[in-house]
Structures are given as C-alpha cells and as structure tokens.
Amino acid sequence: MSNDKVTIQHHQTFDGIRHVDEDANEYWMARELAKVLEYSEYRHFLPVVERAKEACRNSGYPEEDHFEDILDMVEIGSGAKRQVADIRLSRYACYLIVQNGDPAKQVIANGQTYFALQTRRQELGEENSFAQLSENDRRLMLRSELIHHNKALSAAAKDAGVETALDYAVFQDHGYRGLYGGLSAKEIHARRGLKKSQKILDHMGSTELAANLFRATQTEEKLKRDTVNNKRQANQTHLEVGEKVRQTIKELGGTMPEALPTPDKSIKQIEREKKKLKNE
C-alpha cells in the first residue's frame, strides 16, 4: 500500500473512533486510541498519556478539561461485562498524546499531522469566529500570529544551534524549500515579482499564511521535543516539517502554496487603510 493510502487510511481511522456526546462535544477514548496507535498493551500506552498530561499542565491548560478518568463496561466473553478504567480525551489531549508517542511508527507520525491540523482548525474557528471574517481580516490575524510564532521559532532554533543571522536565514530557507516543493525564499520572492524590501509573508493570502503558520508552530515543537542541538539537524527538521505540511495539503486536495494567487494588497497596505479609516 502506498504511503498516501496508508496516511488517508489512518486519518479515516482516527475519525472512525471519534465520539460525540449529547452536547455535541467530540472526544476519543484512550483504550481505543491505544489500539489505533498500535500499542500492544494498554499499560504500555499509559506512560505516553502521563507525558501528555504534563505537557498540558506546562502549557497552562487545566488537565481535567482534556483528560477525564472514567469507568467503562467492556465485554469479557459469554455476554459478561466488567468495569475497566479508561480516559475520555479531548482533541487537544489526543494531539499531545501523539506528540509524545514514538515518531518511528508511521501511524504516530500520521496522527501528529491529523490532530495538529484538526486542533488548529478548531482554534481558528474559535478565534473571533474566523470563518466569518473577511479575507483581509483573516490575513491580518494570521500574519500577526506568524510574527509571534516566528519569534518563538527563532528562540527554539537558537537553542538548537542556529546562532547567527546567516544561520537563521539558511534555517528558514529549509522550511520554505520543504513547503514549496524545493523553492528557496529567494525564488518564491522572484516568482511573486516582489521588490527586495518587500516581505513574502506580507503578500500571502489566508490559506498560504495558515500553511506557513502550521509549518512554524510544528517546527518549533519538534525542535524542542527531539532536543535538536546542532544547526544541521535543525535545518533538516525544518525541511522535513515543511515537506510534511505540503504532503498533508496534497492529501486533502488543496492547492500547493506556490500556485496560490498573490493578493492585490499587501498586509502593510491593509494596515494603513484600516488606520486611516479609524482616524477619519
């Protein structure tokens, strides 16, 4: 079976074990997720859950909002049932679990993509009713987030050994090459017909900005999670994350970033127009 088919199959499986309660809240059960993630025994899965809980606490989110201990009835044969401990997991909890799982397993790698994308979609849906915003307002919001996350990415890259301005430029270039099918930042800049002083990110639509935001956030997390400690490995990590985001866009039937149209107005122009209207 091809990698694309395996990935799609895994995504369908994650959807297949998703539950929705009477209040329309979605959730997953830990024992079902453990089987999908190919843990031979549930007890081997529990240390991963504990690491995910710690990550949840460290992120400032209440653990009880995402990990709920419950007792469930399961069949043990001949129609008999017994109670077993299980955990009701939010989407964010699942995301943290796969982030702390064994990345050597393809199903774990695909789970990281699935839950990261779904979590990001949920976040965007909750932030100022994102779907109802105009395209320009979406661009402004995503560009603002990218500024914030690029600072965090820069700090993570520095901790990983990317120290000088030139080092960081090379590091960023690897991320672009992964996401844009081998195109460097300079080549993307030229394809857009931009001036030397103009920034690529200021001339992207919301869909393209969202893809780059996903690339930045996932690279930051992977650098930290894998304790990357040299710039060569950091560059390779950024390249691989970019490639993974590109692969996901392809699997979802999306348009490749380099083929997306360049907006007529830059982020700077939109900001100036909004400032002018505010002052009138």
Q: What is the mean pLDDT of each run of 10 residues along the chain (280 residues)?
A: 41 78 88 89 92 84 91 73 89 85 70 67 58 83 86 91 95 97 95 92 94 91 90 96 93 92 93 82
Say whether both 147 and 190 belong to one domain: yes
From CA 114, how far away is CA 231, in angstroms rounded? 28
Q: Of 77, 95, 113, at which residue does a domain stop? A: 95
Asked whether residue 67 falls in the same domain as residue 167, the answer is no
Pair (59, 137) in one structural domain:
no
Rounded to whole angstroms, the maximal C-alpha distance in the chain is 77
What size, in residues, is the chain? 280
Q: Domain of 44?
A: 3-95
Q: How far apart are the first and last CA of the chain?
A: 62
DSSP letters of 78-100? TTEEEEEEEEEE-HHHHHHHHHT
- Residue 82: CB atoms within 10 A of its CB come to 9
DSSP structural state of residue 258: G
Question: Where a domain ends, among 76, 95, 114?
Answer: 95
The last residue of a domain, from among 43, 71, 95:
95
Residues 216 and 174 in one domain: yes
Residue 12 shares a structural domain with residue 140: no
Rounded CA gap, 146 and 207, in Å?
13
Give the Cβ contact number of residue 118 at 10 Å.
19
Tell whether 59 is covered by a domain. yes
Residue 117 is assigned to a structural domain of this protein:
no
What per-residue confidence (pLDDT) applies to 9?
46
CB 225 within 8 A of CB 112: no
Residue 106 inside a domain? The answer is: no
Answer yes or no: do 133 and 186 share one domain: yes
- Which helix (H) or strand (E) covers residue 69, if one does? strand 67-77
Give the C-alpha separation, 157 to 220, whole Å. 7
The reply to whether 179 falls in a domain is yes
pLDDT at 59: 74
Check whether residue 150 and residue 77 sit in a common domain.
Answer: no
φ, ψ for residue 168, nearest 5 deg = -70, -35
User: Is residue 174 situated within a structural domain?
Assistant: yes
In a domain, 118, yes or no: no
> 131 and 91 share a domain?
no
Burial 200-224 (b: 16+ CB within 10 A, else e): bbbbbbbbbbbbbbbbbbbbbbbbe
Predicted TM-score (pTM) of the model is: 0.58
Instruction: Let me know whether 79 and 131 are in one domain.
Output: no
If asked whether residues 184 and 140 sit together in one domain, one would say yes
133 and 236 assigned to the same domain: yes
**What local confidence, expressed as pLDDT, does residue 123 receive?**
60
- Residue 47 inside a domain? The answer is yes
Counting the structural domains of the chain, the total is 2
Residues 156 and 51 in one domain: no
Please check whether residue 104 lies inside any domain of the structure. Answer: no
